[in-house]
Chains A and B, each alone.
Chain A
Amino acid sequence: MEALKETLKQQIIEHLNLEELTIADFPDDEPLFGENIGLDSIDSLELIVLLENEYGAKLSSPEEGKQVFHSVNSLAEFISSHRTK
């Protein structure tokens, strides 16, 4: 799980072009859409693409993303239970 979280942080930084951020800026429970990390609506759609391409994990709707994308913790949990690759 810890390794997955580290990989995930790196993928988020690369995929969403968060050049000013490093893995250290992502505490596992920090809200992704909060002030520090500051993702927006396009980022959440990009996260759907990332989950599908990297882990074969499909969201049923963008609304489901609200809970799944809360933090690195919730993302990692979703991936562990939904991944197909």
Chain B
Amino acid sequence: MMESQPTYCRITDDLCSSNGQKIHNTQKLPAQQWFRFLFDHLELEYPKFHKMDGLSKLGVLGVEFLKTVESLPTETDEIAVVFVNKHSSLDADLSHQEQIEKGSASPAMFVYTLPNIVLGEIAIRNKWYGEQQFFIKNEWPHELIHEYIVTIFELNKANRIIIGYVDYFQEKTDGKWVILTQDQFNNEKIREEINTFFDK
């Protein structure tokens, strides 16, 4: 039996593409407005989105685009999410640092000074109670990610996994996501395709 192809999504400063569908940032909107534009494009009704920092908005949008292609269950333990980035929550960290220097820290900003908050936002949005992991690395750690996916499937920790590179720092957006089942992961061609997708 042929395995179905996995669903991908990519969001940069100028482009959002998801399995062939492309949205261009033709107006060269700055990051926050670009995220709002994509949010409106998806016709989401989720006021919490507007309270999030850039990193969380980016992560939530990526998963929402995957969901436009693949219908995913809610109220489940069976979807694992692993994200990687270089800058951790540095964008929020700098804002928080500046607020401290001005003499008044904001709780709504401080809460975003941890990279894994985006995983929490995704869990809340989708009622996903499953395994989550946030890795920090300057370069895409393709061996370790491969090994991590092996642990999820071999140890029966979930039946699907969303893998993401989610980096947002000073208006620079770099997001890549793929969702995989074990069958898809067992296909060597798909594994190569994923490596190419994240490595470039």
Contacts and interface: CB of A to CB of B under 8 A. Distances in A.
Do chains A and B directly touch (beta carbons under 8 Å) in the complex? Answer: yes
Q: Size class of B's contact patch? A: under 10
B196 interface: no
Contacts of B27: none
B107 interface: yes
A42 B120 CA distance: 15
Interface string A41-64: 011011001001100000000000
Contacts, number: 28
A21 B51 CA distance: 13
B50 A46 contact: no
Contact of A38 (B47, B50, B104, B105): B47
Contact of A45 (B47, B50, B108): B108
B111 interface: yes
Contact of A16 (B51, B104, B105): B51
Contact of B50 (A19, A43, A53): A19
Interface in B76-126: 104-108, 111
B107 A49 contact: yes
Main secondary structure of the interface of B (DSSP, over half): helix
Nearest to A37: B47
A18 interface: yes
Contacts of A53: 104
Contact of A52 (B50, B104, B107, B111): B104
A17 interface: yes
B108 A43 contact: yes
A20 interface: yes
Contacts of B47: 18-21, 38
A17 B104 CA distance: 18
Pairs of residues from A and B, 3 with the lowest C-beta to C-beta distance, nearest first: A45-B107, A19-B50, A17-B50
Interface of A: 16-21, 38, 42-43, 45-46, 49, 52-53
13 contacts: A16-B108, A17-B50, A17-B51, A18-B47, A19-B50, A20-B47, A21-B47, A38-B47, A42-B51, A42-B107, A42-B108, A42-B111, A45-B107
Given A42-B108, A46-B108, 15 more contacts: A16-B51, A16-B108, A17-B50, A17-B51, A18-B47, A19-B47, A19-B50, A20-B47, A20-B50, A21-B47, A38-B47, A42-B51, A46-B107, A49-B104, A49-B106
